[in-house]
Amino acid sequence: QKEVEQNSGPLSVPEGAIASLNCTYSDRVSQSFFWYRQYSGKSPELIMSIYSNGDKEDGRFTAQLNKASQYVSLLIRDSQPSDSATYLCAVKERTEYGNKLVFGAGTILRVKS
């Protein structure tokens, strides 16, 4: 069973600070990694995808991937109260027919104004 592990939090940061969210995964051959944001009672919303080692930036978000350490992270710069949500790390399991995603349990982020 492939596993994706995240610290459940909550992670509390003041408005304007950098929030750092971490994730580890068990399947060494995984190639595709995703960060989703989920507000309470809502569906997951894709924020970032990353496939290669290193950093990928999109606006205030930076995803970091280290396949050797089986580690993915998400940095949120200039955190806003609207960023308060649960952040889900997801790893694509290698199957022949589809995009089966294995999700972590999520990290609750609270941004305090």
18 or 105: CB nearest another protein: 105
Separation of alpha carbons 42 and 17, rounded Å: 25
Smallest distance, another protein to C-beta of residue 96, A: 8
- Binding footprint of another protein on the chain (CB under 8 A): 32, 41-46, 49, 88, 90, 95-106
41 or 113: CB nearest another protein: 41
Chain-centroid distance, C-alpha 94: 19
Contact present, 88 and 106 (Cβ < 8 Å): yes
Smallest distance, another protein to C-beta of residue 69, A: 22
Tokens describing residue 71:
């580690």
40 or 69: CB nearest another protein: 40
Alpha-carbon Rg for the chain, nearest whole angstrom, is: 14
